[in-house]
Amino acid sequence: MTDILPFLKSLISAPGLSAYEGPVARVIEEKWKPLVDEVSTSRLGSLHGLKKGSGKPPRPSIMIATHMDAIGLMVTKVVDGLIHLDEIGGIDVRILPGTPVIVHGIRDLPGVIVLPPLKTLPEEARDGAIGLRHLLVDTGLLPSKAESLVRVGDLVSFNTAPTELSGGVLSGHSLDNRASVAALTICLEELQTRSHLWDVWAVATAQEEETLGGAATSAFHLEPDLGIAVDVTFAKGPGADGWEAFPLGKGPTLGWGANLHPYLYKKFKQLADKLEIPVAMEVTPAHSGTDAYSIQIARAGIPTMVIGIPLRYMHTPVEVVALKDLQRAGRLLAEFIGGLEIDFVSKISWEAEDGQ
Amino acid sequence: MKQLIQKLTDTFSPSGYENAIRDVIRAEIKGFADELRVDALGNLIARRGRGGRRVMVAAHMDEIGLMATHVDDRGFVRFTGIGGVYPRNLPGGRVRFVNGTRGVIGLDGGVSGNDLPPLEKMFIDAGASSKDDCPIQTGDVAAFERPFLDFGNRLVAKSMDDRIGCAVAIEALRALKSTPNEVYFVFTTQEEVGTRGAQTSAYGIDPEFGFSIDVTGWGDTPGQRDFDIALGKGPAIKIRDGGMLSDPRIVDWMTAAAEKNKIPYQREVLLGGTTDARAMQLVRGGIPVGCVSIPCRYVHSPSEMVDYGDVQNAVKLVLALLRPAVKLQLAGA
Amino acid sequence: MANKAPATGAAQIKSLERLCRAVGVSGGEGEVRQIILDEIRSSVDEVKVDALGNILATKKGRGAKPLRVMLDAHMDEVGFMLVADDGEGLYRFKIIGGIDPRNLAGKQVVVGREHRPGVIGAKPIHLTTADERRKAVAEEVLRIDLGPESKIKVGERGTFAPNFQRVDPSLMSKSLDNRLGVSILIELLRANYPNIDLCAAFTVQEEIGLRGARVAAQFFQPDLAIVMDATPANDLPMQFEGDNVFYNTRLGLGPAIYVSNSSTLDDPRLVHFMQQVAQKAGIPFQIRQPGGGGTDAGGIQRAGAGVPVVSVSVPHRYTHSAMSVARIADWKNTLALLHGAIRQITPALLK
């Protein structure tokens, strides 16, 4: 098994906010090229890697979707060289003050998101959390210089360096969902020596954080027979101790709910048990909150599954993930794909509905 | 062009009831399209050119409005909104039903003059004295009635959103005598209730890329601080709105065209609301989209204001985009 | 010996960077203290570390009875202490000094002498309610996460992760308050001031009550004292109607001379003297707006039989947060002003 850490660090060091995934897509493309037969890019910017199966054509295909876009910010106006912001994806503004960022202006500028002096704010805005409309980025430049380099609509991305904490965990921004891209890469590496009958579409999707648009359109375009989304889920930790959260480093989760096909759940669960890979059932009563939501309803409908990787502090610049969980998810995917028989789809049944 | 704008904004066609406006637009563009058709959801589709890059340009024909929900014994009409109707813009206003009936909007007694009551505490008085002589029945649809105003540089009307976009599209279509591209001007339906016409027309046309022409908000009146858009500084090129991120390649295409042709423009990051482009983006295998916006004050009120120079520059920008053969690199990377 | 003006080139900025990258939370200033001792040892006559951890250094003047002039810069910074181990690498902590808790969530931190990396996480936005997101995050619900195999013990201190960067014309870093002042005092000690007995104090515990400065002044019993610190620049644009008339100081306008704050009235003779020196030398300066806040001057002024004091500070934005911003020119001009002033001090100043 190769060490995934350097690749994951390079992934989270590459910009790639929703709709602007180009830089991270190039990092992924370079990594995947030797692992797949063909690489292409969708009209919305999703990266499609095709690893052909050994079955007789026409072969069925499986699409593994891991979104590569990251949350971030966008410049809404510049006043006295200080930058006002809008969010891309969902951000709790309370994590922003003090966050180092890169302002992607005419050239990249380092900066920091700051709490302005409270007296400069309307009285009703001074208590509690300071709203996004009042937070600013200071680039350290003179106002005239900042105003000449930064325009409305320029992107602002987090700039916290990837940092290893104790116990085999990595912290950084954009681990949602680059951690899953790394898990899918592990899967592709395992498939180099593991035969599979099905075609495999490894897809790094665009715009998940905004519209789930990359997965919806790639699923339409590729018309897979099965769809699997790999995405991060909540790890137990500060602020997350309810039923939605799973222990960090204790294995991936298998999704259960309306967006997911119960037969696929059953097959994954049986496989995980056989391989002695620890997994937890992740219940999603309605919306799974992942690309699976849109893949399922592409074309005439696609049986869909979600694999979750527990992550602490989701949508902050200091997300935390356990490398072990990536390895497990990648291996589970590869084993599932390797075990797919040509007529798997015809065996999918609804009998598993109550047969967890 | 002002007469055209007045004619379009004087027409009453809330979402789902676009017949009247479609007839007006069809008459205006007759003879300028190589092909003209109406699809199943009522979108009016005008093609110009053949065989080049397939581009869809969407301007929505529908407007926000009201729908009657109940007529009481004394002939007062209760109503609900169609699209984003703000209660603050209603009391004292006048409406006109698609069947031609007019009415005024009244407030329930006991509502203080300082309150902002919900729609449930308002009614339409159409001059009836009983249910029987009321010309309105449940389900009837109305739009705001307010006369068109020409201030010279600034124009005011109801339904500038998005008749001004329609006007820009019509002017552009008329001026586009020939094009190496295959351009589909689509006058869409049901935008205000969920960008529905654009979604299905985009599916039917299957364009390579496209953009909408629609109004955007403003940041240049007292107390408006968050939005860096002003009237009179040119059309806005949308980078993001509340529903989508424009495709960066489309943004670059538009800004390059504006700069090359010395058309003033503004960069738009709109914090709420969206346009037909959002729906187009997610159709089929994905469609790269953007939006040419016309800055508009008091959007979704009966007195929406635009700058005439911005409107003319929007026409110039659309033509600058569509006249030359589009060179956008979109397929793959 | 030529009395050369202190340099402010790349080497000095490098030294300032080293100071900013060090961690010295109030009560645990050891790392900063060590750097300072290494830097000043060869340029002072005597140096000692006192009972609280202050560095007290002296350089004797010449002549019969030179004034004893105390130069003070606090070396501590704001941060936190781990107070409870919740297991799994998660720790509760208490803030040390005046950090607005709104600056904590989502930040990288370091803990202990080895700068163990950690993060202060936050609840995922997906699990919050809109109501919750309008309230500030309380210190009590935050945890420091050092990873599941952390061996760090309760009682260790830490602060925001070092992040120094130079972006001309600015410096951006944690703990510019008061490594800016510390670096100025280090550079001043490299020069010679035969007109005075120079008593330098790099003090501890300023951020928790000006405690180091008080005992340092009691030890030195100086004739006058000059405090060098970093002071907030609240010079940001108004986000509603009105003018910003409470900026405290403004970036780029030079050293900020204090007149009055909540703990001190600066000695008018010294305030006047500082302005005169600046004007004559053509050094830009500003008067720090009278108001709240304070410096070590508050601890020194009332020590023993009393000491005439003045504070001169470098303006910086976003004090006590993960990253502050200061202008390099302000730092250089503060050093130049203090150098010019100190060399002109004579006993007549206090007459």
The pLDDT tens digits of the residues spanning B48-90 come to 999 999 999 999 999 999 999 999 999 999 999 999 999 999 9
Distance in angstroms (rounded) separating the CA atoms of residues A57 and A198: 9
Residues of A in contact with C147 (CB under 8 A): 164-167, 169, 320
pLDDT score recorded for residue C3: 61
B237 pLDDT higher than 50: yes
Angle of CA points C347, C348, C351, to nearest 5°: 105
Nearest CA in chain A to B209: A43
Residue at C326: amino acid letter:
A
Phi first, then psi: give them for residue A355, nearest 5 degrees: -100, 65
pLDDT score recorded for residue C2: 45
pLDDT score recorded for residue B331: 62
Of the partner residues A90, A98, A140, the one whose CB lies closest to the CB of residue C321: A98
Task: Mark yes or no for CB contact C133/A93 under 8 Å.
Answer: yes
Distance in angstroms (rounded) separating the CA atoms of residues A84 and A78: 6
Q: Quick one: average pLDDT of B296-309?
A: 97
Give the confidence band of B223 by pLDDT, cuts at 50, 70, 90: confident
Q: Which residues contact B192 (CB under 8 A, 6 or more apart)?
A: B14, B15, B60, B62, B63, B64, B82, B83, B84
Q: Quick one: average pLDDT of B107-129?
A: 89
Copy the structure tokens of residue C40: 């000043």
Distance in angstroms (rounded) separating the CA atoms of residues C171 and C165: 6
A354 pLDDT higher than 60: no
Each residue's pLDDT tens digit, C118-160: 999 999 999 999 999 999 999 999 999 999 999 999 999 999 9
Q: What's the mean pLDDT when you consider all of chain C?
A: 95
Residues of A in contact with C252 (CB under 8 A): 142
B332 pLDDT higher than 70: no
A261 pLDDT higher than 80: yes
**Residue C243: other Cβ atoms inside 10 A:** 8
User: Would you give the distance in Å from CA A183 to the centre of its chain?
Assistant: 11
Give chain C's end-to-end CA distance (angstroms, integer).
29
Distance in angstroms (rounded) separating the CA atoms of residues C77 and B33: 72
Q: Quick one: average pLDDT of B288-299?
A: 98
> Do the strands A163-165 and A169-172 form a parallel or antiparallel pair, or are they unpaired?
antiparallel
Residues of B in contact with A216 (CB under 8 A): 282, 286
Cβ atoms of B198 and B280 closer than 8 Å = yes
pLDDT score recorded for residue C241: 87
Task: Mark yes or no for CB contact A76/B267 under 8 Å.
Answer: no
Of the partner residues B267, B271, B332, the one whose CB lies closest to the CB of residue A152: B267
Cα torsion angle, A113, A118, A120, A126, sign: positive
Q: Say whether residue C149 is in contact with chain A using an 8 A CB cutoff.
A: yes
Q: Quick one: average pLDDT of A209-224?
A: 95
pLDDT score recorded for residue C7: 87
pLDDT score recorded for residue B330: 81
pLDDT score recorded for residue A287: 87
Give the confidence band of C1 by pLDDT, cuts at 50, 70, 90: very low
Each residue's pLDDT tens digit, C163-197: 999 999 999 999 999 999 999 999 999 999 999 99
Each residue's pLDDT tens digit, A315-336: 999 999 999 999 999 999 999 9
Which H helix or E strand runs over A38?
Answer: strand A38-41
A353 pLDDT higher than 80: no
Each residue's pLDDT tens digit, A124-166: 999 999 999 999 999 999 999 999 999 999 999 999 999 999 9
User: Nearest-CA neighbor of A319 among C190, C2, C126, C294?
Assistant: C126
Q: Say whether residue A48 is in contact with chain B using an 8 A CB cutoff.
A: no
pLDDT score recorded for residue B333: 36
Give the confidence band of C116 by pLDDT, cuts at 50, 70, 90: very high
Write the CA distances from A199 to A1, A341, C283, integer angstroms: 23, 12, 73
Each residue's pLDDT tens digit, C200-212: 999 999 999 999 9
pLDDT score recorded for residue A286: 87
d(CA B160, nearest CA chain A) in Å: 25
pLDDT score recorded for residue A356: 47
Q: Say whether residue A25 is in contact with chain B using an 8 A CB cutoff.
A: yes
Q: Is residue C132 annotated as part of the catalytic site, yes or no?
A: no
Angle of CA points A232, A235, A240, to nearest 5°: 120
Residues of B in contact with A22 (CB under 8 A): 333
Q: Say whether residue C119 is in contact with chain A using an 8 A CB cutoff.
A: yes
Phi first, then psi: give them for residue C2, nearest 5 degrees: -70, 140
A249 pLDDT higher than 80: yes
Copy the structure tokens of residue B255: 């800004």
d(CA C126, nearest CA chain A) in Å: 8
Distance in angstroms (rounded) separating the CA atoms of residues C106 and A129: 14
Give the confidence band of A352 by pLDDT, cuts at 50, 70, 90: low
pLDDT score recorded for residue C8: 87
d(CA A40, nearest CA chain B) in Å: 6
Phi first, then psi: give them for residue B130, nearest 5 degrees: -155, 170
Q: What's the mean pLDDT when you consider all of chain A?
A: 95
B63, B182, B191, B192: the catalytic one is B191
Which H helix or E strand runs over A41?
Answer: strand A38-41
C29, C187, C206, C207: the catalytic one is C206
pLDDT score recorded for residue C342: 97
Write the CA distances from B149 to A244, B231, B249, B294, B302, integer angstroms: 56, 16, 38, 18, 12
SS3 A186: helix
Q: Say whether residue A85 is in contact with chain B using an 8 A CB cutoff.
A: no
Helix residue ranges per DSSP H, chain C: 10-21, 30-40, 130-134, 176-190, 211-220, 268-281, 297-301, 328-343
Percent pLDDT > 70 in chain C is: 99
> Do the strands B122-125 and C90-96 form a parallel or antiparallel pair, or are they unpaired?
unpaired
